[in-house]
Amino acid sequence: MNGLPARATVREVGLRDGLQSIATVLPTERKREWLRDAVAAGQREIEVGSFVPSRLLPQMADTAEVLAYAKTLPGLVASVLVPNLKGAERALEGDADLMILPLSASHAHSLANLRKTPDEVIAELARIRAARDASGRKTLIEGGVGTAFGCTLQGAVEPAEVLRLMQALLDAGADRVSLADTVGYADPLSVSRLFEQALKIAGDRFCCGHFHDTRGLALANVLAAAQLGVTRFDASLAGIGGCPHAPGASGNASTEDLGFMLGAMGIDTGLDMAALLALRAKVAGWLQGEQTNGALWRAGLPKTFRPVTPTAATAH
Amino acid sequence: MNGLPARATVREVGLRDGLQSIATVLPTERKREWLRDAVAAGQREIEVGSFVPSRLLPQMADTAEVLAYAKTLPGLVASVLVPNLKGAERALEGDADLMILPLSASHAHSLANLRKTPDEVIAELARIRAARDASGRKTLIEGGVGTAFGCTLQGAVEPAEVLRLMQALLDAGADRVSLADTVGYADPLSVSRLFEQALKIAGDRFCCGHFHDTRGLALANVLAAAQLGVTRFDASLAGIGGCPHAPGASGNASTEDLGFMLGAMGIDTGLDMAALLALRAKVAGWLQGEQTNGALWRAGLPKTFRPVTPTAATAH
């Protein structure tokens, strides 16, 4: 098996993509504990929340406070999701290390979800870039192209359109771009084909694959992307999250299963898997009544698994 | 992504590996209905049971009757598991199309589970081959090397030992061989490495990969093997089964998720996915109270999934 990277980062999105999709509102103190334990388990990149109006997502109302705490954790790259310029201004105010602007490649999904066309989102990114540059902050800007493999509303999304939008995000001032299979429509072959083109366009500004496990293929899709040398994947502890269009469906790839897969293949993730599983158990306890996912937590690590000790070198 | 085959077979093992691992004893009439519906959904290879003493596995007590029914279904390759010569004699009596003799590459697991060393199992295969040849039956003999990636008792299992045993099975008269990750210790890279060697040794007599989803990697492991051109994978409807060493752990790869992954990549499986999902719902209903697995059934097929119509050509 060729092309696998020597190191990879599992970027935690459970505190954002996970928590925003479930009913439980986790108290700020527990989010702090989650962050603290995650960093102790070797996680170095965490999406800590979303700067959306709190009337829309009460789960994210404390994002500024959580971000401020995350900034105190040494070595942590703290990112936030920002839906628009207003959110970006809050991210800059909080000195986030990274802000992620989602764009939906499905025009139908974009209009329904963001009430903007994809090209209007690109114009917003240009305004965000201007605001960032004027602010003097070092906050990086990531353009995340979602529904990149199709969506429940529109059905197919043309790869050419996904790539056009990705190029447009870069042209508008995104520091980097990522691709997301928002609703679990991707398969390993479609991932391989689209990511290969994306890497040609964005080079090392292509930064991350985000795969939902809606139909069980998240880890196989990660494998397909990893074989192209992609080194960063979003995942959610306990696989929390879900799909608003498919009640009961799994959420993101689960952090612990993904960390296990990569680590078992000898890819250095910097994760302390035992500590991560302990955190998984804790968070699942906080979220009782919510659906959690993933398989590793039941079976535990194989006897043959060689633990990887978190090292500063993996905080890349 | 290179190496993917144009066609592949999802071999159903739910009626054997699945049912033997759960408490519910499915009545014979329901097994018949399952077989009938599975064939109607395009499944062409099904492991219908196991010729073990019924005091050990009451779930398998009706295997002769189920096999007799399976033999009436046109186009179906009906296989049975046989633990020894005695089981093989029953398989020959029932004119099974294929009998599978399991061998555990972990000596500790082999002694604990089969009360034989791996080499004693190979001697048994030679006796089975002689019995088959004397019987005049066309029943094929498959040697299935289990715990090929390690086991819970012994820990590591050396790939060289797995390959030695596979070669010995062929030498002793197995028509074909397969590899199984019995307890979910494999990862895509270890699969790729071991299967590459296995294919060199066995060539087109290497017939199947059997991956448990104990730690969530079954589909990624299938992907790794499929990239080497492997065209047959065991799977269990609703992912039933489990791992005796890890209570609550997932069983086999789920037939419907695997069929979806392969079909989405344009690999012809001959499966009618809608019919398969309907059967999944029916079987899950019969098994209420038992743990079922898999993700596709919750979310349904993507709008963009192009159905594959079962064809005679795919009954390979």
Spacing of C-alpha B199 from chain mean position: 18
User: Which two structure tokens, joined as six digits, stand for A36?
Assistant: 């603290």
Neighboring chain B residues of A10 at a CB cutoff of 8 Å: none
8 Å CB contact of B155 and A303: yes
Cross-chain Cβ contact A254/B216 below 8 Å:
yes
Instruction: For residues A220 and A197, give the distance between their C-alpha atoms in angstroms, rounded to a whole number.
Output: 19
Are the beta carbons of B238 and B259 closer than 8 angstroms?
no
Burial of residue A289 (number of CB atoms within 10 Å: 0-12, 13-18, 19+): exposed
Tokens of B222: 């299938």
Mutation target among A265, A293, A305 for the B interface, most CBs of B within 10 A: A265
Percent of chain A at pLDDT exceeding 70: 97
Distance from C-alpha of A307 to C-alpha of A266, rounded to nearest angstrom? 10
Q: According to the model, what pLDDT value does residue A316 have?
A: 40
Q: How many angstroms separate the CA atoms of B265 and B2, rounded?
A: 12
Q: Is B44 helix (H, G, I), strand (E, B) or coil?
A: coil
Nearest CA in chain B to A301: B215
Q: Do B303 and A224 touch (CB under 8 A)?
A: no
Handedness of CA B113, B162, A263, A166 (dihedral sign): negative
Superfamily assignment of B9-314 in CATH? Aldolase class I (3.20.20.70)
Contact B213, B256 (CB under 8 A): no
With a cut of 90, say whether residue B246 has pLDDT above it.
Answer: no
Whether residue B187 and residue A261 make contact (CB cut-off 8 A), yes or no, is: yes
The overall average pLDDT reported for chain B is 94
| Cβ-contact A269, A42 below 8 angstroms | yes
Q: Which is more confident, B151 or B250?
A: B151
Instruction: Supply the mean pLDDT for chain A.
Output: 94
pLDDT tens by residue, A236-258: 999 998 777 777 778 899 999 99
- Mean pLDDT, residues A58-62 taken together: 96
Residue A83 to residues A12, B153, B190: CA-CA distances in angstroms? 19, 51, 41
ipTM of the predicted assembly exceeds 0.90? yes
Bridge partner list, B99: B80, B141
pLDDT greater than 90 at residue A34: yes
Q: Hey, what long-range contacts does A23-29 have (CB within 8 A, 24 or more apart)?
A: A23/A290, A24/A59, A24/A286, A24/A287, A24/A289, A24/A290, A25/A58, A25/A59, A26/A59, A26/A286, A26/A287, A28/A62, A28/A65, A28/A66
Average pLDDT (B215-234) is 98
Euclidean distance between CA atoms A32 and A70, whole angstroms: 8
Q: Compute φ and ψ for B72, nearest 5 degrees.
A: -85, -10
Q: Are A210 and A218 in contact (CB under 8 A)?
A: no
- The ranges assigned to domains in chain A are 9-314
Q: Is the dihedral of CA A295, A299, A304, A309 positive or negative?
A: positive
Question: What is the distance in angstroms between the Cα of B133 and the nearest Cα belonging to chain A?
Answer: 40
